Amino acid sequence: MNDTTTPTPDFHFFAASVVTWASTNDERDLRALLRLMDKEGYAYNLFLVPVPHTENYDINYYQPQVEGTQHLGFFEKRGKR
């Protein structure tokens, strides 16, 4: 059997600034997520969340509340806003 559907990964990336948050999903890969956050011009944190993007979880102080979440870094756009 040749299944052409792509399984949902067991993880996703989550980015949050003081203005917004977004995550990777079926339509938005990591590059698109970073472009989206950079376009806003605000500093943001990036996390690797060890559950599928379809999973429900709490977000406190701009951080996903999922055991095993990894903080990957703090990013800020350099230059003009």
Tell me the C-alpha distance between 37 and 45, whole Å.
Answer: 10
**pLDDT band for position 24 (cuts 50, 70, 90):** very high
In terms of residues, how long is the chain? 81
User: What are the tens digits of pLDDT across the range 30-76?
Assistant: 999 999 999 999 999 999 999 999 999 999 999 999 999 999 999 99
Q: In the structure encoding, which two tokens stand for residue 53, read together?
A: 């993007």
pTM (2 d.p.): 0.85
- pLDDT of 1 higher than 80: no
- pLDDT of 81 higher than 60: no
Tell me the C-alpha distance between 7 and 10, whole Å.
Answer: 9
Tell me the C-alpha distance between 75 and 53, whole Å.
Answer: 22
